[in-house]
Chain A
Amino acid sequence: MKRIIPVLLALPFFAPAPGLAEIQGELSVGARGTDFADDSSAKFDEYRDMSDGLFGGLDMLVDSDTYILGVSFENPTLDDQSYEVSGNLLGVAKGEIFYDELTHQLYRNTLSPVIGTGGNFLVIPDADNPASVPPLSSWNSLDYSLESKTFGAQATVDPQTPFYFKPSVEHQRKEGIMPWGTIINSDFEVPMPIDYETSNAMLEAGYRGKGTTAVMTAGYSQFDNDNDLLTTFDGVELEEYSTPADNHSYNFSGRLTQRLSAMNLLAVKASYNRNLSEADFSRYLRIVSPSADNEFDGDVSYLRGSAILTTQWDRLLATRLFYRYVNRDNESEEITTITGGTRTNHPYEYDKHQAGVDADYRLSKVNKLSGGYELTFTDQTREDADESLDNLVFAELKNTSMEWVTTKLRLEYLNRSSDSDYSEETLTGDGIIHEFYTPFDYASKDRYKAKLAFDLVPAENLELGLSYGLAYDDYDATMLGLQEDLRHEVYIDASMLLQPKIRLNTYAGYEYTNSDFDSRRYDPGNGYPLVAPFASNYNWNEEFTYDFFAVGGSISIPAMARLELVLNVDYQLVDGNIDFVRAATAGAPLETITNADDYYKTQAGIKCIYKTTDQLSMTLGYAYERSNLDEWKYDNYTYTAGSIYLSGAGTDSDYEAHQVYIMTSYRF
């Protein structure tokens, strides 16, 4: 990719009529050094390459009366490099080509006795024979990470005609390893190889007539996985694990926006989307293929339709009527397994209708009232959630009676009624729990939401934002499952001009979530919950609570005529708590988890920007980051526990990093 840089830099000089063009932009080059106190954590540089050494970029525009050409790149020597060339032939066409690398560091310096990391055939020790498992000290070190490289192009050809065209293409290659649990025979956390390629292409063609816009799109997407199968071999047995199958998808859509009259605008859209996949069963050596042709053909199509009618009745009243429809048709092959038991897959389908109306009415120059009703009906082939009907109403008031305050109040109520497809007669054995247990995502419920927000400008040099939000879900009809879900949110932000050139931006946020949940723990044959609790068979309650707090700000201070100081600090904290209750007859009291995803993160920085000239500036900066995760799962972590062999993934999210950098920027 390094070879692309001179090409990009040379591009402006090949642009048409350079004599008439103005070139402007900024070139930055810097160097940095990082003291990463605990470099076993991948959280610090999760999505960025923070290597010591050079960094920088270019952002340049070549601007003439007839065209604009943009060239930009960032960090060309690093793993998060990106390049973009954009062009705009004014009034005719515009487009861009780009290349982008994204590093995703997952977990670093983990340990594994596996041989063959990076491939899809892994040799692991025989867990049934602990003596064959090498000591931890001889396990190999490995970093779980993914790297994706995406390149693509898009254009909009929009000459002075009623027609326009927007083609776009994109190709992404993703490589790396991620942790994967294998529990059959040998219980190891192993590196799953990721070798994915995704290609997307799309063409949009539009027509704009007087009061009419018609848009047609066609798209195609293909996904290829180089690893059809993950195989582990412990010296005795092979085990086989499926991976995402190759798939492809195509879609067509048509959209029409029609101005029916001065007051009415109608938009209708229909789309068809078909996803196809192919899983090759012939590659499995230990598992007998349940399919006559040794493969599974996945075939799911979606038919979607939507219509919105917007009416501006007069200057005061506007309404919107809308309808949406989705049908998921699943023609995937049904197979009945032979290995491991007899089980048949049930292709999942659904129909969803959504209709509603909302209105905005200006009560006066300073008051606007909005309200609406929305109905959603879902019918799906899910035994635990067959049909559901949502009724949602909302009202919103916006007030600007005081010039310096804008107040918004929104109230929302949702009622969901749903039922399952289980018949009591067929619920036997452990399945009897379904008569009492309801999954939260389709459970009948009442939800109340409220939001109050103020935007204040009490003085010319001060802007304030305050908002409070409440959401409460009451699963009143649920006996076992989620009972209540409560959330409070408070956000505050301020922007102050302390002196003519000193601006302070600050914010704070607080989120509180509390959920109440009932469930049943039982041994086979004891699913019926309406019996007195006894050892290993009891109902229990769980209440999980999280407090999230964030605060931060930045300030820029012109210290001298050519020297500017910029300071920033961000801090966030989460305190999670999970309380459990069960009857005394079921056993000893359950113990509260006081560190459920607890973490804090501090980020701070200071930089001095000295403008040597109007074009040239030097920046000297220091950045500090620290993060700590305290999660019960990782307390007293061991790599080997009985017949389980873990790799350490997720155990070390803590880091502390200091970074010093110097950068020079030339603006031209």
Chain B
Amino acid sequence: MKRTYMILLFPFCLLLLSFSLSIGAPAENPTAGAKEGFIGAETCKECHETQYGSYAESIHFKKSVKGPESQDACESCHGSGARHVEKGGGRGVDIFAFGKDVDPDAKSAKCLACHERTPGMDLWAMGVHRRNDVSCDSCHTLHAAGRQKPREPDVCFGCHKDIKIETNKRSHHPIREGKIKCSSCHSPHGSLSRYMVNADDSRELCFRCHADKRGPAVWEHPPVEEDCQSCHAVHGSSHMKLLNERIPQLCQNCHDWSRHPGTPYDKSASFTSRWDCLRCHPAIHGSNSPHAEGLRFVR
């Protein structure tokens, strides 16, 4: 229990530290003096007609939205253009461009100037995406007309190439079929939960569609009660039922007992004994039987 107390000390230290750090400099106003050298969108349009055209079709162009068009149009995001014009233009010449070589935090800061108040964005700064140099424009097309949400799962697969392959394995969730989106399970803008799932933990997430597994059951199977991923590969698997491993290997990794649980089911095993564990233990997610065999998930 000594270890427990030591671990419990951690959050108190964290709280103490946070208070001590809070005696810091006040937040600077990022927009102070930012309007010097503004030239207006009409000037930008003279050279950037295509970009202006796509901007004009986007939601950012709407005056009813508290966005660029209700502020300083192009310069709301790209900054003042006077010196850019004076120097004869050119990509990134004294202007803020959303190029690949630009600091991702700087790019996101432009968007967050307005979108920091968007529900859920308060967790962006501590999210996994931000820490891995993902910026808003990595997923969102800022000048596009029509629907503004990123096209899932293609946008996500752009970086998560292993997941892209997993979702096409023999056993998979219907992600490619368009019935589940990445954002059905994950919060790409940040979450306090692991893997950025949009639930308290991955089990609670699974129960939204698989509430029959929620229990509480009379006879519980501890790995089921702790983490669905003990047995399941959620994005896709080469084994049936999205399992991490073939049965009986998966079950035998935890279970040994006299007779059949510890028997090696090699190629010489008879047809009747080669059948998988779930054939006789189907209530593996928990049994509600008042019979003693409920313990073994048989009934």
CB contact between B238 and one of A291, A592, A597 (< 8 Å): that residue: A597
Interface string of A183-216 (1 = CB under 8 A from B): 1100001001000101010001010100101010
B122 and A261 contact, CB distance less than 8 A: no
B200 and A389 contact, CB distance less than 8 A: no
* A window 333-359: CB within 8 A of B: 335, 337-343, 345, 347-348, 350-351, 353, 355
Smallest CB separation, A287 vs chain B (Å): 5
- Whether a CB of chain A sits under 8 angstroms from the CB of B86 is no
- Whether a CB of chain A sits under 8 angstroms from the CB of B169 is yes
* Cα distance, A43 to B119, chains bound together (Å): 40
A491 and B165 contact, CB distance less than 8 A: yes
* Cα distance, A74 to B23, chains bound together (Å): 56
* 9-residue interface stretch from A32-40, A324-332, A615-623: A324-332
- Whether a CB of chain B sits under 8 angstroms from the CB of A241 is yes
| Residues of the A chain whose Cβ atoms lie less than 8 Å from the Cβ of B249 | 515, 517, 542, 544, 578
| Residues of the A chain whose Cβ atoms lie less than 8 Å from the Cβ of B36 | none
Q: Can you show 30 pairs from A to B with CB atoms below 8 A apart? A: A24-B145, A181-B282, A183-B280, A189-B279, A204-B119, A215-B119, A242-B283, A242-B294, A247-B215, A260-B21, A260-B22, A260-B24, A261-B21, A265-B125, A267-B192, A277-B216, A284-B290, A290-B290, A307-B11, A307-B15, A321-B14, A338-B290, A348-B220, A467-B161, A489-B162, A520-B256, A521-B263, A523-B259, A544-B246, A597-B240
* B window 4-58: CB within 8 A of A: 4, 7-8, 10-11, 14-15, 17-19, 21-28
Smallest CB separation, A514 vs chain B (Å): 12
CB contact between B207 and one of A61, A221, A324 (< 8 Å): that residue: A221
Q: Considering only CB atoms and an 8 Å cut-off, how many residues of chain B contact the other chain?
A: 115
- Whether a CB of chain B sits under 8 angstroms from the CB of A531 is no
Interface string of B193-230 (1 = CB under 8 A from A): 10000001100100111011111111110110110001
- Whether a CB of chain B sits under 8 angstroms from the CB of A114 is no
| Residues of the A chain whose Cβ atoms lie less than 8 Å from the Cβ of B164 | 507
Interface of B is mostly: loop
| Residues of the A chain whose Cβ atoms lie less than 8 Å from the Cβ of B11 | 305, 307, 323, 325, 355
B21 and A339 contact, CB distance less than 8 A: no
* 9-residue interface stretch from A125-133, A136-144, A434-442: A434-442
Interface string of A260-288 (1 = CB under 8 A from B): 11111111010101011101010010011
Interface string of A85-111 (1 = CB under 8 A from B): 000001100000000101010000000
B14 and A309 contact, CB distance less than 8 A: yes
Interface string of B229-253 (1 = CB under 8 A from A): 0100000001110000110010011
CB contact between B168 and one of A48, A276, A550 (< 8 Å): that residue: A550
B266 and A580 contact, CB distance less than 8 A: yes
B238 and A599 contact, CB distance less than 8 A: yes
* Cα distance, A419 to B127, chains bound together (Å): 34
B264 and A580 contact, CB distance less than 8 A: yes
* Cα distance, A221 to B169, chains bound together (Å): 31
B170 and A627 contact, CB distance less than 8 A: yes
- Whether a CB of chain B sits under 8 angstroms from the CB of A574 is yes
Q: A48-B174, A307-B15, A309-B17 are in contact. List 16 more A-B contacts (CB 8 A).
A: A47-B174, A68-B59, A74-B178, A181-B281, A198-B208, A260-B21, A267-B192, A284-B290, A287-B291, A300-B215, A309-B21, A330-B216, A430-B257, A515-B245, A523-B259, A526-B258
* Cα distance, A619 to B177, chains bound together (Å): 20
- Whether a CB of chain B sits under 8 angstroms from the CB of A568 is no
- Whether a CB of chain A sits under 8 angstroms from the CB of B274 is yes
Smallest CB separation, B71 vs chain A (Å): 14
- Whether a CB of chain A sits under 8 angstroms from the CB of B83 is no
* Cα distance, A201 to B220, chains bound together (Å): 27
* 9-residue interface stretch from B61-69, B74-82, B88-96, B135-143: B61-69
Closest residue on chain A to residue B146 by CB atoms: A61
- Whether a CB of chain B sits under 8 angstroms from the CB of A610 is no
* 9-residue interface stretch from A6-14, A496-504, A636-644: A636-644
* 9-residue interface stretch from A116-124, A248-256, A559-567, A658-666: A248-256
| Residues of the A chain whose Cβ atoms lie less than 8 Å from the Cβ of B217 | 245, 277, 279, 298
- Most chain A CB within 10 A, of B7, B65, B295, is at B7
| Residues of the B chain whose Cβ atoms lie less than 8 Å from the Cβ of A262 | 24-28
CB contact between A291 and one of B66, B179, B290 (< 8 Å): that residue: B290
Question: Given A321-B17, A491-B162, A80–B179 Cβ distance below 8 Å?
Answer: yes
| Residues of the A chain whose Cβ atoms lie less than 8 Å from the Cβ of B258 | 430, 522-527
A379 and B240 contact, CB distance less than 8 A: no
B238 and A245 contact, CB distance less than 8 A: no
Smallest CB separation, B297 vs chain A (Å): 10
- Whether a CB of chain B sits under 8 angstroms from the CB of A601 is yes
- Whether a CB of chain B sits under 8 angstroms from the CB of A444 is no
Interface of A is mostly: strand
CB contact between B272 and one of A102, A597, A632, A642 (< 8 Å): that residue: A642
Smallest CB separation, B268 vs chain A (Å): 5
* B window 119-158: CB within 8 A of A: 119, 122-123, 125-126, 131, 133, 145-147
- Whether a CB of chain B sits under 8 angstroms from the CB of A401 is no
* Cα distance, A324 to B288, chains bound together (Å): 32
Smallest CB separation, A150 vs chain B (Å): 9
B291 and A339 contact, CB distance less than 8 A: yes
* Cα distance, A253 to B198, chains bound together (Å): 13
A279 and B145 contact, CB distance less than 8 A: no
CB contact between B291 and one of A340, A353, A377, A430 (< 8 Å): that residue: A340
- Whether a CB of chain A sits under 8 angstroms from the CB of B186 is no
Question: Given A180-B282, A507-B164, A377–B252 Cβ distance below 8 Å?
Answer: no
| Residues of the B chain whose Cβ atoms lie less than 8 Å from the Cβ of A180 | 282
Interface string of A397-431 (1 = CB under 8 A from B): 01000010000000000000000000000000010
CB contact between A540 and one of B193, B246, B264 (< 8 Å): that residue: B264
CB contact between A375 and one of B7, B66, B226 (< 8 Å): that residue: B7
- Whether a CB of chain A sits under 8 angstroms from the CB of B117 is yes
* Cα distance, A619 to B226, chains bound together (Å): 49
* Cα distance, A192 to B283, chains bound together (Å): 11
Interface string of A595-638 (1 = CB under 8 A from B): 01101010000000000000000000000000101001100111
A306 and B192 contact, CB distance less than 8 A: yes
- Whether a CB of chain B sits under 8 angstroms from the CB of A149 is no
B126 and A308 contact, CB distance less than 8 A: yes
* A window 217-259: CB within 8 A of B: 221, 223, 225, 240-245, 247, 249, 251, 253, 255, 257, 259
| Residues of the A chain whose Cβ atoms lie less than 8 Å from the Cβ of B286 | 244
B222 and A382 contact, CB distance less than 8 A: yes
- Whether a CB of chain A sits under 8 angstroms from the CB of B299 is yes
